[in-house]
Amino acid sequence: MLPTQSHGQSSLPTPYENIVQINGVAMTSDSLRAVAGATISVVGKNRGVLSGERGVFSIVVNKGDTLRFTALGFGAKEYVVPKNIPGPFVSLIQLMSQDTFYLAETIVRPLPTRDNFDYAFVNWEVPNDQYEIARRNTEYFTMRTLAATLPKDGRENAQAYINQRVRESVYYGQQPPSNLFNPVAWMQFFDAWKRGDFRKK
């Protein structure tokens, strides 16, 4: 980091004398090329900026703040803004060093023959992604099967009990009617008998 001479008249008192604007550029330390898309954030504060295509950035901070420079493929750098900087403007050149990432070894081999490829294409089972799993779980027949086989939970049991009590309260204090002499009920019984609804399956 190479801060240059600041500009402005520090002798004139201002109500914002603790605030400075830093105009700078982020560059590589080996080839002095611009680092585009670098994140310049103020440590401990939820704000920051990104460098442009040529590595140029501008940010307003307080004297004594710490700037953190991060970019993909580069090591993080920090710069502490001095508290005795004269003037409200500072120019800064931040040099960033490339960081090396070591990945695990990956070996890619082709299938030996065309016949093996055809067999793999037909018989290999590719696992479903999250979207396909969700789509299958919400199919109409799947939901019907789950609704018919899953036991009732506490809320459904409570609602069934309430409905039963409501039906019983209709004939509270009197004898409920019997369908023994109801011709409509007998007609429905004979129709169901003719259809074979009571046969053992």
**E strands present in 2-104:** 19-28, 39-42, 48-50, 56-62, 66-71, 74-80, 89-96
Q: Where are the domains of the chain?
A: 19-96, 109-170
For domain 19-96, the CATH class is: mainly beta
Mean pLDDT across 65-91: 90
Tell me how far apart the alpha carbons of residues 164 and 161 are, in angstroms, rounded to a whole number: 5
Residue 130 has pLDDT above 90, yes or no: no
Tell me how far apart the alpha carbons of residues 185 and 124 are, in angstroms, rounded to a whole number: 59
Distances (CA, A) of 180 to 156, 183, 186, 189, 190: 32, 8, 8, 11, 14
Residue 3 has pLDDT above 90, yes or no: no
pLDDT at 176: 77
Mean pLDDT across 127-138: 85
What residue type is assigned to position 170 of the chain? V
The residue assigned the tokens 């039906």 is 167
Instruction: Tell me the pLDDT band of 21, cut-offs 50, 70 and 90.
Output: very high
pLDDT at 4: 53
Distances (CA, A) of 20 to 25, 43, 101, 113: 16, 16, 36, 68
Q: Specify the range with the lowest mean pLDDT, choosing from 17-26, 40-49, 101-110, 150-159.
A: 101-110
Q: Specify the range with the lowest mean pLDDT, choosing from 95-104, 108-117, 166-175.
A: 108-117
